[in-house]
Amino acid sequence: MSYSYTARPPKVRAMANWATFSVLLAVVVIMLGAWTRLVDAGLGCPDWPGCYGFIKVPQSDSHIAIANARFPDTPVDVAKGWPEMIHRYAAGTLGLVVFGLAASAIRQRRSGVPFKLPLFIAAFILLQGAFGMWTVTLKLWPQVVALHLLGGFTTLSLLTLLVLRLRKFSADQAVTPTAARVTPNKPEQPAASLAGFRPWLFGGLLLIIMQVALGAWTAANYAAVACTDLPTCQGQWWPEGMDFQHGFDIAQHVGPNYLGGQLTADGRVAIHVTHRVGALVVLGYFAILLILIRRRDHSRELRGPAGLVAAALAAQITLGLANVMFYIPLPIAVAHNAMGAGLLLSVIYLIWRHYQLPLQAQVETATHTTTMHQEITA
């Protein structure tokens, strides 16, 4: 019994390449969103999807006069309008790519290409666009801003999962059904030393998601500068007067312009300190988990993905510390957002590779059997 191989379907390969491009574009959109927020350009255009009723930021004297007449309470600031519109252009391009992937999945659904996930991502992109609109029309209401940030990370995660599934599907199509008959009907389980890590990996993913949510809430309420010293906050390990009830009040009423934030200083300190504590919890959890994986991964299958998580976590902690030490410099703050996405994706990739361990064991067993058969019959 032997393997026979066929060429990868060009359409599936092209779809996988476009999905990879969408992941890269999603990272750019997240970084542009961070840039827009950090330069206080979230309301650089008071309407949506245009800017003062124009498709681009008004710059000529006549267009600026028209724009100011339309929105007398928010005069045109070209320097803040462009970051907002560039972010929208990139997000719109990402939406078009995602819709194209969904259309391609519909056309190829009979071939077994992942079908439901691209459609779900397309629907989620529409929801994310709605949150982008509400971010502007509700004047940076923290609840919506935080959900919009989380939506960006969710979109990136889903697109990454789509890439992994398409790459796997394309690789599987390179082997004809002849090889499939070699695989036992009952799939093998991962090595006993690694099988027990699955719930702990998902626990780590949950911690990362919670920390991302805390980061989003910190950014939405302008709490990143509430503590400007390390390792203490305002000279205290546990600042007095922290107002957790006010800081985490998700029932803030709609109405004020939230540019710059509306929370009290004690509320912002509570948010900032909670984000720091969350970072320590994540660091401790993954330090232990990754060490245990390294000790028990005798086949070295997870060494690479685990090392990627460790590198991303170290970089993210370093950038977070640098943010405080250097008072939120724009390049470091944007990189901190991007590395947060990188850390999330590295954990997702580690879980994906853990799920592939049974399949890899099957393939290795089948390959070994085929090699022995060839040697005997030679």
Catalytic residues: 84
Torsion angles phi and psi, residue 148, rounded to 5: -65, -40
Q: How far apart are CA 125 and CA 151, in angstroms?
A: 9
CB contact set of 310 (below 8 Å; sequence gap of 6+): 286, 290
Q: How far apart are CA 29 and CA 24, in angstroms?
A: 9
Q: Which residues are registered as beta bridge partners of 262? A: none
CB contact set of 171 (below 8 Å; sequence gap of 6+): 8
Q: How far apart are CA 318 and CA 315, in angstroms?
A: 5
Contact 1, 308 (CB under 8 A): no
Pair of tokens at residue 104: 């391609």
Rg, C-alpha atoms of the chain: 25
What is the three-class DSSP state of 54?
strand
Pair of tokens at residue 259: 């540019």
Q: How far apart are CA 139 and CA 133, in angstroms?
A: 10
Pair of tokens at residue 21: 């491009």
Torsion angles phi and psi, residue 299, rounded to 5: -85, -5
Which residue is associated with the tokens 């961070």? 34
Question: Residue 109 carries which DSSP code?
Answer: G
Contact 47, 53 (CB under 8 A): yes
Pair of tokens at residue 27: 């990272």
Question: Cβ-count burial of 352 within 10 angstroms (0-12 exposed, 13-18 middle, 19+ buried)?
Answer: middle
Contact 289, 197 (CB under 8 A): yes
Q: Cα 343 to the chain's mean position, in Å?
A: 8
Q: How far apart are CA 66 and CA 68, in angstroms?
A: 6
